[in-house]
């Protein structure tokens, strides 16, 4: 966001701007003809195969007509070059470090003797072999939590409940209380209603399946066999209609019931934990409002393999072992994965985020991925200080822009690198929006946050195939997936061109991206009408990340070509 100029003179040199400048768009870099551009590119015609969709983020706009990051082409460029090891930290939910596609690329703290209950390296964390779990809790258990707005409401309710603004001294705090009370109440009511709706759907589907099996005398049946069946129970009749749609899509009744269970679980989580002001989720026995109340947590970085999939999926995108004959390839090589468990099923605590960043920095990470965020922050200054600390140690932070289809030049989004959404206080944070595989007006993911001042660049974030716990793989979407795509590119640059600073790596990623000059549908809230805008108005760079171009630019900078 804060910019530097890349000047092509005798060689390619960098002139670094001072911190605290206004967020402005980059000055276009002069490039040689071997940089990839979108000039002459055409959108892919016809349907992509399942395997192609799984691999699309690594594709090339010119070779494949798909707006991927040219990762395969980047590795062609790296042929014969030698990289240096890089530690990349993933601050996220639990990570399945036992996954077959991750277990050989896990960072190990060699200064710590495993399981001796002694802080051998004296870093404040006992037996932190693979990272640290700031959420605490038992092995294999998840950590549900409230959202930050719910925690704020819980704190302010005893102070302001039943009062009017005329009766209070701190008007601003009272207005915050009023705002979060309405938001939490509305969301709690909606979650409870949605939970009831999905439970009803599931019960109807179960009733229909049971009634059909009874009438046909068998458990397996086809759409044609049940089409003309009639039932007196309206619940069963409605369920039969749903079941026919499920089966027409290629799924079984059991699979349809399981899918609906996902909706039940999601809204149960919201109603019972996220928006429940009476829920107490903290499992570490520390005071989350006291930054000096340390140490806490434990070394159980995996979390629940059943309930926590996010961190594992993010990690695979960055660093899944390449060309091992299973699963998929991560973007980066020559790297080790440090697990920092901070993100619960709810909003992360600022204390955990700040300490997680500092832990990763102090233990050697050069790139940190942060695929999380929230609209309220109780202690943003703790995170700001941690970001500045990372900057002082030359560590690049890659952050997901968020999935609210919001303009974060206006809407709050934490953590961030600007207290006023205009002036940056650090130069080492790159914020990433999500794009799709469609090289047309659907290029931008409909859910992605955006902002010409506060989103730096876009990267693949829709239909992203990666690792799931228990040696599984799935495709999911979000700016949470776009951020690790960029983190992987950053790791590649820092591996093969280790002399470049975090700020230079950030600038290269932004300046070397591919510019899309077309009109796109802007992200919009569900049910809203998506306006058409120029793609360049949605981020600072106006570009999509390209690994090949980034490495080529890094090579020119280092070797003065």
Calculate the average pLDDT of the chain. Answer: 92
Q: How far apart are alpha carbons 55 and 317 in whole angstroms?
A: 11
Phi, psi of 281 (to 5 degrees): -100, -20
3-state secondary structure of 529: coil
**What is the band of 1 on the pLDDT scale with cuts at 50, 70, 90?**
very low
- Domain boundaries in the chain? 49-141+296-559, 148-274
- pLDDT for the residue numbered 33: 57
For residues 401 and 370, the answer to whether their CB atoms sit within 8 Å is no
For tokens 């404040």, what's the residue? 124
For the segment 41-94, what is each residue's pLDDT rounded down to a tens digit? 888 999 999 999 999 999 999 999 999 999 999 999 999 999 999 999 999 999
Which candidate, 372, 433, 374, 426, places its Cα nearest to that of 395? Answer: 426
Alpha-carbon distance of 214 to 299, in angstroms, equals 51
Query: What is 49-141+296-559's CATH number, 3.40.50.200, 3.40.50.2300, 3.30.720.210, 1.10.10.10?
Result: 3.40.50.200
Whose tokens are 């594992």? That residue is: 312
Query: Longest C-alpha distance within the chain, in Å?
Result: 85
Beta carbons within 8 Å of 175's beta carbon, 6+ residues apart: 165
How confident is the model over 88-107, as pLDDT tens digits?
999 999 999 999 999 999 99
CA–CA gap between residue 161 and residue 146 (Å, rounded): 20
Q: How confident is the model at residue 309 (pLDDT cuts 50, 70, 90)?
A: very high
Q: How confident is the model at residue 127 (pLDDT cuts 50, 70, 90)?
A: very high
| pLDDT tens-place string over residues 403-420 | 999 999 999 999 999 999
Residue 9 — pLDDT band, cuts 50, 70, 90? Answer: very low
Choice among 2-11, 214-223, 486-495 with the minimum mean pLDDT: 2-11
Spatial contact of 516 and 524, defined as CB atoms under 8 Å apart: no
Residues 6+ apart with CB under 8 A from 357: 91, 368, 383, 386, 387, 389, 390, 397
Percent of the chain with pLDDT over 90: 89
> Over 90: is that where the pLDDT of 21 sits?
no
d(CA 430, CA 485): 12
pTM summary value = 0.91
Residue 15: what pLDDT? 32
Residue 428, pLDDT above cutoff 90: yes
Please indicate whether residue 526 or residue 430 has the higher confidence score (pLDDT).
430
CA 13, distance to chain mean position in Å, is 33
């Amino acid at each position: 966001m804060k910019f530097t100029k890349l000047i092509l003179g005798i060689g390619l040199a960098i002139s670094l701007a001072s911190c605290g400048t206004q967020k402005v768009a980059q000055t276009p870099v002069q490039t040689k003809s071997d940089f990839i551009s979108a000039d002459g590119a055409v959108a892919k015609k016809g349907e992509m195969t399942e395997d192609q969709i799984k691999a699309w983020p690594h594709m090339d706009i010119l070779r494949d007509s798909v707006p991927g990051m040219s990762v395969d082409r980047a590795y062609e460029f790296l042929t014969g070059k030698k990289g240096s090891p890089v530690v990349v930290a993933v601050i996220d939910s639990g990570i399945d470090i036992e996954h077959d596609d991750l277990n050989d690329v896990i960072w190990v703290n060699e200064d710590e003797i495993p399981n001796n209950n002694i802080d051998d390296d004296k870093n404040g964390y006992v037996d932190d072999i693979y990272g640290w779990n700031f959420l605490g809790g038992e092995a294999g258990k998840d950590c549900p939590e409230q959202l930050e707005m719910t925690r704020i409401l819980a704190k302010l309710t005893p102070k302001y409940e039943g009062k009017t603004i005329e009766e209070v001294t701190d008007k601003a705090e009272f207005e915050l209380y009023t705002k979060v009370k309405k938001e939490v109440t509305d969301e709690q009511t909606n979650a409870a209603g949605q939970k009831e709706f999905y439970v009803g759907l599931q019960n109807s589907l179960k009733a229909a399946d049971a009634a059909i099996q009874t009438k046909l005398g068998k458990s397996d049946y086809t759409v044609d066999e049940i089409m003309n069946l009639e039932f007196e129970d309206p619940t069963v009749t409605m369920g039969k209609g749903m079941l026919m749609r499920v089966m027409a899509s290629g799924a079984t009744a059991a699979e349809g019931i399981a899918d609906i269970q996902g909706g039940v679980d999601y809204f149960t989580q919201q109603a019972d934990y996220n928006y429940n002001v009476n829920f107490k989720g903290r499992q570490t026995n520390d005071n989350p409002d006291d930054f000096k109340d340390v140490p806490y947590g434990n070394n159980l970085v995996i979390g629940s393999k059943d309930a926590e999939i996010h961190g594992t999926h993010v990690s695979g995108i960055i660093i899944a072992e390449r060309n091992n004959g299973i699963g998929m390839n991560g973007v980066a090589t020559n790297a080790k994965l440090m697990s920092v468990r901070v993100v619960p099923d709810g909003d992360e605590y600022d204390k955990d985020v700040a300490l997680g960043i500092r832990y990763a920095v102090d233990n050697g990470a050069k790139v940190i991925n942060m695929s999380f965020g929230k609209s309220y922050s109780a202690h943003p200054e703790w995170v700001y200080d941690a970001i500045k600390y990372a900057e002082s140690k030359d560590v690049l932070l890659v952050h997901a822009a968020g999935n609210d289809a919001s303009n974060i030049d206006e809407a709050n989004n934490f953590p961030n690198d600007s207290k006023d959404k205009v002036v940056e206080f650090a130069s080492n944070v790159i914020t990433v929006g999500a794009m799709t595989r469609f090289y047309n007006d659907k290029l931008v993911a409909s859910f992605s946050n955006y902002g010409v001042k506060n989103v730096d660049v876009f990267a693949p974030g829709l239909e992203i195939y990666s690792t799931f716990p228990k040696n599984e793989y799935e495709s999911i979407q979000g700016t949470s997936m776009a951020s690790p795509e960029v983190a992987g590119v950053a790791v590649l640059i820092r591996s093969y061109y280790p002399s470049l600073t975090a700020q230079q790596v950030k600038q290269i990623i932004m300046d070397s991206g591919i510019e899309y000059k077309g009109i796109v549908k802007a992200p919009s809230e569900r049910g809203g009408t998506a306006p058409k805008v120029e793609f360049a108005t949605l981020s600072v760079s106006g570009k999509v990340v390209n690994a090949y171009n980034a490495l080529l630019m890094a090579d020119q900078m280092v070797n003065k070509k």
